[in-house]
Structure formats: structure tokens, C-alpha cells
Amino acid sequence: MNIPLRNKIISFFVIIWLLVFYYESTCGYYLQPLFKRELPRMKFLFPPAGWIMFYNIGDNFSYAEVYGVKDNAPQLIDPHQILQTRAIGYDNINRNALITVLSPGMSDSFCPFLKRKFPYFDKFLITYVEYPHLSEQPFDKIQTVVYTCE
Amino acid sequence: MNKIWNRLFLEERPSIGLSFFRIFVALTVGLHVIPSFFHLDDNYFSTAFKTFNTDFFPALFIEWVQKSPDLLVVFFVIAFVITWFCFLIGLFSQLSCILMTMCCYYFYALNSFHIGTLSWDILLVTLFLMCITPYHGDYFSIDTLGRGDLEAWQRRRPFFIQRLLQLQIASTFFFAALYKVTGEGNWITGNPIYYLMNYPAQGVTKHFLLKEWMSVHPAFCYVVGLLIVASEISLPFLLFIPKTRRVGICMGFFFHVLLVLTLDVPSIFIFLFPAQMLLFIHPQRIIDWIMTKRRINALSPRGKLLFDGDCGFCRASVRLLQVMDLWGKFEYAPGHKGMSEMVLEAADGKIYGGFFAFRQLVWSVPMLYGMIPVVYFPGSGIVGPWVYRWIARNRHLLPVFHPSAMRKCH
């Protein structure tokens, strides 16, 4: 390929890339509030929420706990037995991967998954655990059953 | 304006840094995705518990991927492993990168539960840029051996991909800091480090030496938080200004080591980001450094490799060694007629033959570092010489796999 043509193609690509990259980086948290409306987003490439690494950490912490019930006696299931895939260099459970199971509609797929993995139990309790004020009341813990897998 | 644009993106500079970076991209992708293959029934088969990233993929695409039968999942697993390995070793670098990235998208759309994190999205941006050109296969690759170019390590390419990768990592730092202090970010109004230090055992904070102490010293935590934001904001500038670049890279490395030691963060933070910061080193500096090492080695006593000069296969193999011998550590010379194995006369006067000569070579040739575990694997001292002897006996029957050596052979 001749060099001037190659340079034109590269320049075109770089300009488009930079425009899209910085548009997507600022869209969710800056451009949309500025224009007060939903702006078109590009699928398939950029982090949808922007580069929000640890941007908002509150004084509370919540996670999911799963109990297996056998003969009416609930028993906590180690989350590492539920999510057995081991990531290299970090623990996905500590990154709160299981909290997803509390989202609405998740019971439809999570209950059959639990029944397949733990046939020993009669039913399962999916609970939401929250520490509302970590720094002031570190032992104040609220736990509620979100749904039951019969 | 034209001059600046040219210097920023179009100027041809050595691509060896990008080739080195390819290895880290491949390792990061592999470390992230391959563990999920050990539990296909939990992660990808019809029995899996799945979540979908509908913000990243159009709903139609997710629906389409969900129709995959388990057999197709197995096909994609095999395709991923093959293309990933090809990308790692630089065999058909660009093609393998494209196919591997397609597999990554497939698994991400199939189930985002295990692999779908913000850092994975960032990695996909990097992969997309790597797919654009074959420049990352210019060195440290099988593709280089195929070309047989002895000067491959100083091959020059337009700089735009490396520059865009630099901008990506710098912007990641910058925006990560900006989000922390504006909008919903609470690093000024709250005390995130203090909260993290008080997280229960189930949380993202690891147990480290100062954790207990920090959990009761909110003022110290607040200052640490501000320092982190200040570092993230300043890193892009430190990295782009030539005079402060070295400080920026060291600071970036330190920052990521601290992150990994204190928090459960995905492997991309330690395997990809530090390597991406090395892309800020001016490629010409790398070439100058290599040239200096080659000059020093040329003037010092060097190992001498003697081979059968009558055998095309041997000449082709030596040619490949010359391509891989980045530091110019060896001299290559035809030995006596009909020699049964290659002989290495080491710089310290020791003589090694056949497989054991090869064992010595792998320590000095960077592209052979990956062979170190293989040639020192328990039992290789028995199997290795046997395999070597078999190849040596049949060397005149083996194909001459390098065209340039073949031409010289006849």
C-alpha cells in the first residue's frame, strides 16, 4: 500500500476512535446529565457505565447468603461451593459476585442451578445480608430472606 | 499541525514493545477466561446459572447466542484454546487475535456472570486495538521465524496503535479519578478507604498488615484516599511527559502492586496494566539498549555454535536461532563434515552437545525462555537426548522449513 493512502486510512481510524472513545467515556456520567436526555450509546466495545473503578464506596456492605434446608434445619452453604470457578489472582466471592442472585427474576435460573448442584437439600433460602453502618456499628447486621427455592 | 499529527500517530517506530505487550495481553485473556472452562456445566452449558450484560450487548445478540447447543459451546472452547495459544506464541498473530476476540465475545454474551467485570470490558477495548494490525507479531512470535528476517527486532511500523494503547491506559487512570471526585463519586465527601478497611471478611478488602490500624484511623484513610485520587489524576501527565516518564511508570507499578496486595481485584490489574505502562518507553530507546547489549556481546568472548553445514535442515534451524538471538550472544559456524550433533562451545570453555547444547541456548535466547520448563521437566534429560538423536539421524530427510536456507542449500 502506498504511504500517503496508508496514512490517510490510519488518520481516519484514529480520529473516529478518539471521538468514540472520549464520547463513550463521558457519556453516562457527564454528557447525559448535561443534555438532560438519554444519548445514543455504542454497544459491543466500551464499559457501559464508564471507568467507574471503586468510584463510590459507602459505609455499608451487603451480600447474599444461601442456606440449604434439610429436614427443616437450615445450613449455610459455602459460597465457594456454589461458585466453584476459581479466578486466578483474586476471589470472585469477595468481589461479591453472588449478589447478582438477589436481582429480580434471578430465582428462575438460580433455583434449578442450586437443585442440580446440591440435591441433598429439600429447599434453599436465598438471603440478603446487610451491614448498614460499618464504621459506627460493625456488628449491626440485618438479614432477610429474599426468596425460597422449593 | 501536520508535523505534530505525524509525530503522534503516523511516524514509523520500532514495534518490538508492542510485540512484547502481545504476550501480556494473551496471558491476561487466558488467565481470565480459561478457569471458566473447568466448570462448563456451571458456566456455559444449558445447566449453567447465567447473567447477561444487556448494556454491553444488544438483546437480539444475547438471544441468538443463548440458542447455542452444548456442542457448539465445546466447539468454541476448543477454538478459544487454539486461537489463544496461537496468539500467545504469535502464530498468524492478527488472525489468531481476531478469532480469539470473537470467542471472547461469544463467552461474554453466553454468560457474563464469571468473566464480566469492568476490567474485562477494558480488556476488550485493548483486544480490539490489537486486532487492527499485525504489528504485534513483528517479534517474539512464530511469524517472525517464518519471515526469517535477522533484523526483525528493529522493524518499524506506524506508531498509532501503540499511541492509542497509551491513551487508553492514561485515560483509564484519569477518568477513574474523575469519577471518584465528581457526580456520584464520594472520595471527597466520604471516606471510602476507611469504609473499605471496615468491610467484613466477605468483602473485597484483603487481610494485610495495616488493615486493623487503618480501620480505626479515619483521618489517615482520608488522606490516603486523596493521595490515590491525586496519583490517578497525575499519572497520565507523568507518563506522557518524557522527563517524568520513569517516575510515572514506577508509580504506576507501585500503585498496582498495592492494589493487588490490599484488594481482590481482577488479574488484569497486575498482568495487563503494568505491561501497558511499559508502552510509554520510547521504542527507539529499547532498540538502542538492545544494540548496546549486542555491541558489548560482540566484543566479549561469546559462545560458538557448530553445526552440520552440509545439512539444509541444520542451516535453516541455525537461521531461526539467529533470528531469535536478540542479544547476539552466539557465533554460528559450520563444524567438521558429518558431525552427528550440534556442539556449543560456551564462553567459559565448556563444551555441550546435542540436546544439552540446546538446554544451554534456552537461557540466552529470549524467544526460547518459554522452553525452559520443557527442557528441564523431570525426565527430559532422558527423553530429550533420545528425541534429539532421532531428529539428528533423520535430518537429511526432514523438510527445510525456511525458504532462504533452502535456496542456499542447493
Contacts of A43 in chain B (CB under 8 A): 56-58, 61
Cβ within 8 Å, pair A57-B203: no
Which 3 state secondary structure label does DSSP give A67?
A: strand
Whether residue B384 contacts residue B375, with contact meaning beta carbons closer than 8 Å, is answered with yes
DSSP of B290-348, one letter per residue?
Answer: HHHHHHHHHHS--EEEEE-TT-HHHHHHHHHHHHH-TT--EEEEE-STT-SS-EEE-TT
Average pLDDT for B330-340: 86
Min Cα distance A106 → chain B (Å) is: 8
Cβ within 8 Å, pair A95-B117: yes
| pLDDT, tens digit, 9 for 90 and up, residues B199-230 | 998 899 999 999 999 999 999 999 999 999 99
Q: What is the pLDDT along chain A (150 residues), one digit of tens a residue?
A: 799 999 999 999 999 999 999 999 999 889 999 999 999 999 999 988 888 889 999 999 999 999 999 999 999 999 999 999 988 888 889 999 999 999 988 999 999 999 999 999 999 999 999 999 998 898 899 999 999 998
Best of A62, A78, A88 to mutate (most B CBs within 10 Å, chain B): A88
Domain ranges of chain B: 1-158, 160-265, 301-409
Min Cα distance B214 → chain A (Å) is: 11
- Rounded Cα–Cα distance for residues B316 and B401 (Å): 7
Whether residue B330 contacts residue B358, with contact meaning beta carbons closer than 8 Å, is answered with no
- Rounded Cα–Cα distance for residues B219 and B305 (Å): 64
**What pTM, to 2 d.p., does this model score?**
0.92
- Rounded Cα–Cα distance for residues B105 and B111 (Å): 10
Best of A46, A51, A141 to mutate (most B CBs within 10 Å, chain B): A51
Average pLDDT for B127-146: 96
- Rounded Cα–Cα distance for residues B208 and A103 (Å): 32
Contacts of A90 in chain B (CB under 8 A): 264-267
Comparing alpha-carbon positions, the chain B residue that sits nearest to A140 is B200
- Rounded Cα–Cα distance for residues B128 and B123 (Å): 9
ipTM of the complex: 0.93
Cβ within 8 Å, pair B172-A51: yes
- How remote is the C-alpha of B137 from its chain's centroid? 11
- Closest to A54 in 3D by CA, of A101, A95, A25: A95
Which 3 state secondary structure label does DSSP give A78?
A: coil
- How remote is the C-alpha of B97 from its chain's centroid? 12
Determine the pLDDT at residue B183.
Answer: 84
User: Which residue is listed with cell 438460580?
Assistant: A110
Residue B377 in this model has a pLDDT that exceeds 90:
yes
Beta strand pairing status for B12-14 and B156-158? antiparallel
Best of B4, B45, B49 to mutate (most A CBs within 10 Å, chain A): B49
